[in-house]
Amino acid sequence: MIMGNVGRVFSFQISPRLFVGSLILFIAYIVFSLFIVNSHLQLRWVSNQDREKYSRLEDENAANKKILNRSKQQITLLEEYIRQIEEGAEGFGIGRKEQVRSNGEKTPLEAVLPEKVTKAPEVVDVTDMVIQKEGSGMSITLKIVNIQAGEGPVGGYIHLIASDKKSVPPKEWPYPQEKIEKSMPVNYRKGQIFLIQKFKQIRARLNLGTPSESPSSLKVLVYDQSGEIILEKEMDITQAS
């Protein structure tokens, strides 16, 4: 009903079909809008999930590349060590000082004399040392740790030399059991080979000969592959003995 400005009233009637049709269209619009909004939210959620998965895959890929590069470096070092072992002192000793035989002839360098060894900056350290003496034997367990800046692996040769400085002359027991002179290994390549990313546990056993022997100190010597000392540490083990 509509009232005019002169007091006349106009009335009209809406068709039920038109009303029902309009209502149906309105309801359909609401349902369609809800469907569109719900689909948008679902697509947004899926997109966020995919983005997170992609980010994780990128992180995993970067980590895998890092591991692969480390593995390549380790393989390179291992191949170098194997080559040195197979070739002995030849090849690698070119350009380095040679040991002179007693008859005056020079030999390919398979030994680095103690007085000729140079020292490099320390890139490793030893921790968690445990020493146990059992009869005529002594077992030593320690960790050699990579302390160099960066994340690259480090490799070389490790020697352990136990000594009794109270005896005359001083007695020494090397590990591995190789020739030593002036408390230093004659051939540093005869040491136990190691290649570490973070750390490695070293186990050694010394044969002291008799149960009465009692070393008073232990020297740890670590060489790099070129023969430079990268760690030299001597510890008092009197109480451990």
Per-residue pLDDT of the chain (241 residues; tens, 9 = 90+): 545 555 566 566 677 888 788 889 889 999 998 999 988 898 989 888 888 888 888 888 888 888 887 777 777 777 766 766 666 544 444 444 444 334 444 444 444 444 455 566 678 999 999 998 888 888 999 999 998 877 678 888 999 999 988 888 889 999 998 898 888 999 998 899 888 888 899 999 998 888 888 888 999 999 988 889 999 999 888 776 5
| Whole-number Å distance between alpha carbons of 32 and 38 | 10
> Is residue 97 a part of any domain in this protein?
no
Peptide bond into 16 cis (omega under 30): no
| Whole-number Å distance between alpha carbons of 235 and 232 | 10
In this prediction, residue 110 carries a pLDDT of 42
> Is residue 95 a part of any domain in this protein?
no
CA atoms within 13 A on the CB side of 202: 28
Do 130 and 79 belong together in one domain? no
- Dihedral over Cα of 111, 116, 121, 126: its sign: positive
> Is residue 161 a part of any domain in this protein?
yes
In this prediction, residue 143 carries a pLDDT of 92
- Dihedral over Cα of 102, 106, 112, 117: its sign: positive
In this prediction, residue 221 carries a pLDDT of 94
- The owner of tokens 């051939």 is 187
Do 119 and 232 belong together in one domain? yes
Distance set, CA 140 to CA 55, 62, 143, 238 (Å): 47, 39, 10, 14
Among 71, 87, 103, the domain boundary falls at 87
> Is residue 94 a part of any domain in this protein?
no
Name residues whose C-beta falls within 8 Å of residue 201's C-beta, 6 or more positions apart in sequence. 141, 142, 143
In this prediction, residue 107 carries a pLDDT of 42
Residue-number span of the structural domain to which 43 is assigned: 6-87
Domain count, the chain: 2
In this prediction, residue 115 carries a pLDDT of 44
Cβ(211)–Cβ(204) below 8 Å: no
> Is residue 200 a part of any domain in this protein?
yes
Element (H, E) at 144: strand 137-146
In this prediction, residue 12 carries a pLDDT of 61
Note if the pTM is more than 0.75.
no
CATH code for position 121:
2.60.40.10
Cβ(154)–Cβ(196) below 8 Å: yes
In this prediction, residue 98 carries a pLDDT of 41
CA atoms within 13 A on the CB side of 233: 16
